[in-house]
């Protein structure tokens, strides 16, 4: 069955789908995106993703994008046409097509692209043994809270992780605090079992997985705090883990080649992973 993509109002074979060379997403990375998990044919935490999408559009002052109801229809149609039961749907909205000029074009209208694909379940070895991260300087701009398609610093960071044989790179700000991973949020559990996530300031993307987990933590009465934490603190942590739409919740068992605690996934991490997966199963 051929893959189908949606590009600006038209469903097209994926291999032929294309945007104009003067699309501002292509030329300036002037656009936003979302990746939503599909489980059992349903979209996981769709509302949270759409709220974040609207916020990203507002922050970049992109006006006139498709409203939620028709957008939801397109997402479902792309999922249906690609027969995706478990996978992801990707959506991207650029400011539109216009002769190249940095300032906003007067006449352009937003261009929506949607694709969907099946994904393999998270690798069981990564769940059982945890994954490794390296730490690298955070060289990104100061509005990482906006989910823009401008991801080149994240691309370089992830590649550095790959070349170091690590799953992820945790980025570190000028004060020595970990901001987040290149495509995941970073968490630690302290020696006194406090679960710590950096607050959703301008230096991290407020992950939907993070938001959903925080809601579970609050409901479950866990000892949870939002505050910055340093690399030193992370390396001395009892447990560490990461979250994202595509990785869900994975234990981090090594930071810069040093084992976290005894180097095995933490018990609390495993419990939270189970809680999060139950939430996913419920919402799907």
- What is the smallest separation between the CB atom of 264 and ligand PLP, expressed in angstroms? 24
Q: 250 has which bridge partners?
A: 242
**Angstrom distance (rounded) from CA 206 to CA 212:** 10
Catalytic residue among 42, 72, 106, 147: 147
Residue least distant from ligand PLP (Cβ)? 207
Find the shortest distance in angstroms from Cβ 262 to ligand PLP. Answer: 27
At residue 56, φ and ψ (nearest 5 deg) are -60, -45
Listed residue (262, 283, 196, 3) closest to 117, CA to CA: 3
Does 31 bind ligand PLP (CB under 6 A)? Our answer is no
State which H helix or E strand residue 135 sits in: strand 131-137
Question: Looking at 82, 148, 184, 269, which residue binds ligand PLP (CB under 6 A)?
Answer: 184
CB of 234 to ligand PLP, least distance (A): 16
Residues in 122-151 that interact with ligand PLP by CB under 6 A: none
Is 243 among the residues that bind ligand PLP (CB under 6 A)?
Answer: yes
Assess contact for 203 and 173: CB atoms under 8 A.
yes
Using the contact rule CB under 6 A, the part of the chain among 4-12, 89-97, 243-251, 256-264 near ligand PLP is 243-251
Say if residues 6 and 112 touch (Cβ distance below 8 Å): yes
**Residue 56 found at the interface with ligand PLP (CB under 6 A):** no
147 is catalytic: yes
From 87-95, 128-136, 179-187, 232-240, span contacting ligand PLP (CB under 6 A): 179-187
User: The tokens of 264 are what?
Assistant: 């095995």
Give the burial class of 41: count Cβ atoms within 10 A of its Cβ; 0-12 exposed, 13-18 middle, 19 or more buried: middle
Cα–Cα distance, 255 to 268 (Å, whole number): 18
Would you please indicate which residues are annotated as catalytic (active-site) residues? 147
By CB under 6 A, name the binding residues for ligand PLP. Answer: 35, 154, 180, 183-185, 205, 207-210, 243-245
């Amino acid at each position: 069955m051929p893959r189908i993509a949606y590009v600006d109002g038209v469903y097209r074979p994926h291999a032929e789908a294309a945007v104009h060379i003067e699309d501002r997403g292509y030329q300036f990375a002037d656009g936003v995106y979302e990746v939503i998990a599909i489980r059992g044919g349903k979209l996981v935490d769709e509302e949270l993703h759409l709220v974040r999408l609207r916020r990203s559009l507002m922050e970049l002052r992109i006006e006139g994008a498709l409203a939620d109801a028709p957008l939801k229809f397109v997402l479902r149609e792309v999922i249906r046409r690609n027969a995706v039961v478990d996978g992801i749907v990707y959506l991207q909205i650029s400011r539109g097509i216009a002769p190249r000029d940095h300032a906003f074009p007067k006449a352009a209208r937003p261009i929506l692209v949607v694709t969907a694909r099946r994904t393999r379940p998270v690798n069981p070895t990564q769940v059982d043994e945890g994954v490794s991260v390296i730490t690298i300087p955070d060289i990104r701009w100061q509005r990482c809270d906006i989910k823009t398609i401008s991801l080149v610093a994240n691309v370089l960071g992830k590649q550095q992780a790959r070349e170091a044989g690590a799953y992820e790179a945790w980025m570190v700000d000028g004060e020595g605090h970990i901001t987040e991973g290149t495509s995941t949020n970073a968490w630690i559990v302290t020696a006194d079992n406090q679960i710590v996530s950096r607050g959703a300031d301008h230096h991290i993307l407020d992950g939907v997985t993070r938001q959903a987990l925080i809601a579970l933590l609050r409901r479950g009465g866990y000892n949870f705090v939002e505050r910055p934490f340093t690399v030193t603190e992370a390396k001395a942590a009892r447990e560490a883990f990461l979250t994202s739409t595509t990785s869900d919740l994975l234990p981090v068992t090594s930071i810069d080649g040093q084992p976290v605690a005894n180097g095995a996934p933490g018990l609390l991490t495993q419990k939270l992973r189970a809680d999060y997966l139950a939430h996913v199963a419920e919402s799907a």
